[in-house]
Structure formats: C-alpha cells, structure tokens
Amino acid sequence: MEITSKFKTIGVAFALGAFMFACSQETQTETNEEVNEAQAEMNEANMEARSSYEDFDAWVSTNTARAEAVTEDEFREMRTEYNRREAELETEAATWDEETRREWEETKAEWNEFENKVQERLGEIEDIDVDVDVNGDNN
C-alpha cells in the first residue's frame, strides 16, 4: 500500500509539473505574440510619421529652392501652407524617434533661412486678411 501511495504521489508530481510547464509555455507564447503585435503597431506608426515628415520635407525643399524668384503673394501662400503643415506635424513630433526629430529641426531651420532670404529681398511681408463678399452686397 505504501508503494502504491508513493507511485500516486510521484504520478501526481509529474502531472502537476507537466501541467505547470504547459501553462508557462502557453503564457510565454501569448506574451511573445502580444509583444510582437505591439512592436508591429509601433513600427507601422513610425513609418506613417516618417512618411508624413518626408512629404513635408520634400515640400519645404521644393519651395525653399525658389527663394530668389518667389513673389510676395506666392510667399504668403507658402507661409500659410507651411504654418498649417508645421502645426499638424508638431503634434506628432513627440512620438518620433531621435533621428526624425533632429531632421525636423533641420527642416524648420531650412524654412527659417528661406523666410529670411525672401524678406531680405522683398522686405517685411505681412499676411493679408481678405474679406470676400460672397453675397455681392457691395454695390
């Protein structure tokens, strides 16, 4: 009877050990899957942010190359568009990696240099608020 009891005890110990091993493997697998999923989501978000930044950087580079030929009206339109885009990206900048943030600062410096060149050439250009009479009431 004592031998049977020892076999039962050993059997229960093996069963318990196998169960704990299986549970820990399952938990580990689930955890790894969750980590991989979170990393994939972060990579996708970083790629989207990087794409938004790269589009903006290309726009800035294209427009700043025109510093010697831009008119006052074109400059006003560019500045308005720049300010709109900058505000959109500034809200995302906190989630960017260090390299993208550094490049972002360089892009803003490039735009600032462009503004200085244009204002040096054309003088101080103020934004104009235009009131449009859409009803045609001005007779």
pLDDT of the residue at 23: 65
Helix (H) or strand (E) holding 11: helix 2-64
For residue 113, what pLDDT band results from cuts at 50, 70 and 90?
very high
Q: How far apart are CA 73 and CA 117, in angstroms?
A: 15
56, 106 Cβ separation under 8 angstroms = no
Query: Higher-confidence residue: 138 or 20?
Result: 20
- Give the tens place of pLDDT for each residue, 5-42: 666 777 777 666 666 666 666 777 777 777 677 777 77
Whole-number Å distance between alpha carbons of 46 and 52: 10
**At residue 2, what is the residue type?**
E
- pLDDT value, residue 53: 82
pLDDT tens for 62-83 read: 988 888 888 888 889 999 999 9
Residues sharing a CB contact under 8 Å with residue 114, sequence separation 6 or more, in sequence order: 60, 63, 64, 67
For the stretch 121-136, pLDDT in tens is: 887 777 554 444 445 5
Place of tokens 């400059």: 75
Placement of tokens 């942010």 in the chain: 49
pLDDT value of position 63:
87
Block residue for tokens 């900058």: 86
**What tens digit of pLDDT does each residue of 50-63 get?**
788 888 889 999 98
pLDDT for 132: 43
**Which residue has 């235009």 as its token pair?**
130
